[in-house]
Structure formats: C-alpha cells, structure tokens
Amino acid sequence: MGELLRVEDLKKSYNVGRNLFWALKGISFDVEEGDFVLLYGDSGSGKSTALNIIGGMDRATSGKVFVYGQEITSFNDKQLNEYRRDYIGFVFQSYNLINNLSAKENILLVGNKPDLADKLLAEMGLEGKGNSFPTELSGGEAQRVAIARSMIKSPSILLCDEPTGALDYDNSKKVMQTLQKLNRESGVTILMVSHNTAFVPLAHKVIKLRSGSVESIICNDSPTLVEDLEW
Ligand SMILES: Nc1ncnc2c1ncn2[C@@H]1O[C@H](COP(=O)(O)OP(=O)(O)OP(=O)(O)O)[C@@H](O)[C@H]1O
Ligand SMILES: [Mg+2]
C-alpha cells in the first residue's frame, strides 16, 4: 500500500487579542492507503484544526500537507476547491443533513448516482430508509446517511470529526461498525478524530495530540473488531 497523506511540521496560529495562540505547534505524521487512523487527544489539543487543514477547509500557518505527493498547502482557492470535491469525504459530529430532503435526496445532492446511493444505503444497513427524512431517523441512522453521502463521490480519504460525538452507545457502535466495514471490505482510508480512548484498539495507527503537538504514534497491525469491543 502506498502513502496517501503526509503531514510535515504543520503549524497553525490564531490571533487572540494581541497574542498568537498556537493551535498546532508543528505536527508530522503519515497515512497509508487502506489505513484506519485515529487522531485523538483532549479537547483543545488541535484535532479539528488538523483535520480541517488536511481536508482543505482551512489554511496552515506553516508546514506542508501532501496528498498522493501533491502539496495541497500550496494550492490556490480554485485548486483547493477541486481537491475537496475530488479527494475528500467529510463526516461531522452533527450529520449536517438537509431536513427537508429525504435520506436518498441528501446523498444525491452531493453526487447524482441513484444506483450507487441505493448500494451505499444498503451497505449502511439502511435499506428501506431512502425515503425517510432526517427527522424520522435515529441519530445513528442519520449519521450513516451522512457517511453514505460522503462516500457517493468515492473519495480518496474519509475524514471524520467525532462521528459518534452526538450518539448513544448502541448508535455509536453501529456507526463504528459501518466505518470499520468500509475500511476492511471496501478499502476506504479513514482518518477519524475522537477524544474517546475506547476507539484506540480499532485503528491501524493512533496519533495522540497534546496541546498542539504529537505526543505519540502507535501502530497496530491487527485492530480489534468493533463487535469485540466494549466501552
Ligand atoms: N478561530 C480560532 N481563534 C482562536 N483560537 C482558536 C480558533 N479555533 C480554534 N482555536 C483554538 O485552537 C485550539 C484547538 O482547537 P481544536 O478545535 O482543533 O481542538 P479539538 O482538539 O478539536 O477539541 P475538541 O475535542 O473540543 O473538538 C483550541 O484551544 C481552540 O480554542
Ligand atoms: Mg474538535
């Protein structure tokens, strides 16, 4: 498997009053194709900041991000727009579904491929839910619709920011099973952010952030199955 993502000495600062606050103090790591990577750390450690820069939704202060060898941190706005469209799937804590469109219409809004939308809904365990509206779905179902939506463009990498953050235990488990299945059976590369240490055994690589720095990187060749994990 080849290298998909490389992050090199990535820094991000914000102006807070007269001072600079460093949300990322120079982080480096890489992600191989087919990896399930967990980026975890306490609240405020810089996880979302890193994910948003990698996803082309925010700009770095310095440092580089390469995707398939292309330096996205040097892209102009138009290139970044195309990069987001062609390479990135994003799943948020808050689903971000449009309430007056059905589950299937939400998916088709991002990519008009009805057959693939049906296939993805089935893969997510949502057969028969295509015509349901977001308010008629459980949180876990809504999040799986959001995952199906993110997959309709066949992105190179799926970025997930606390995808289970708003869910109870059973729904969290279903969403994690769905993500693991996408990774194991369809080979989808996943970079997931969470502060939940319980997810550590599920990942091939675990990157721990602490106050904007990488504290540790641990690799695991045989991740645990979600079914076998209790938290
Ligand atoms: N626009 C901004 N201006 C100033 N500081 C910011 C801004 N955005 C983020 N920060 C700060 O950067 C740090 C990292 O934020 P970030 O959202 O990446 O944390 P996180 O690890 O995702 O936390 P959480 O688990 O709570 O989501 C925090 O201390 C936050 O207050
Ligand atoms: Mg965050």
Q: Which residues have CB under 6 Å of ligand 1?
A: 14, 16, 21, 23, 41, 43-49, 195
pLDDT of 183 reads 96
In a domain, 129, yes or no: no
pLDDT of 191 reads 98
In a domain, 159, yes or no: yes
> Across residues 176-197, what is the average pLDDT?
95
What are 214's strand-pairing partners? 209
Res. 1: pLDDT tops 80? no
Domain hosting 177: range is: 3-93+147-225
* pTM, entire model: 0.95
In a domain, 180, yes or no: yes
> What integer best gives the mean pLDDT of the chain?
96
In a domain, 108, yes or no: no
Residue closest via CA to ligand 1's atom 3 equals: 14
For ligand 1, pick from 24, 48, 207 the residue to mutate: most ligand atoms within 8 Å of CB: 48
- For residues 204 and 33, the answer to whether their CB atoms sit within 8 Å is no
Res. 127: pLDDT tops 80? yes
In a domain, 134, yes or no: no
Note the helical H segments in 124-164.
Answer: 139-151
Q: What is the pLDDT of residues 46-102, one digit of tens each?
A: 999 999 999 999 999 999 999 999 999 999 999 999 999 999 999 999 999 999 999
> In 3D, which of 13, 29, 66, 35 has the Cα closest to residue 216?
29
- For residues 12 and 190, the answer to whether their CB atoms sit within 8 Å is no
Give the pLDDT band of residue 121 (cuts 50, 70, 90): very high
Res. 141: pLDDT tops 90? yes
- Give the CATH number for residue 180: 3.40.50.300
6-91-54 Cα angle (round to 5): 20
In a domain, 104, yes or no: no
| Tally of domains within the chain | 1
In a domain, 213, yes or no: yes
In a domain, 89, yes or no: yes
pLDDT of 96 reads 94
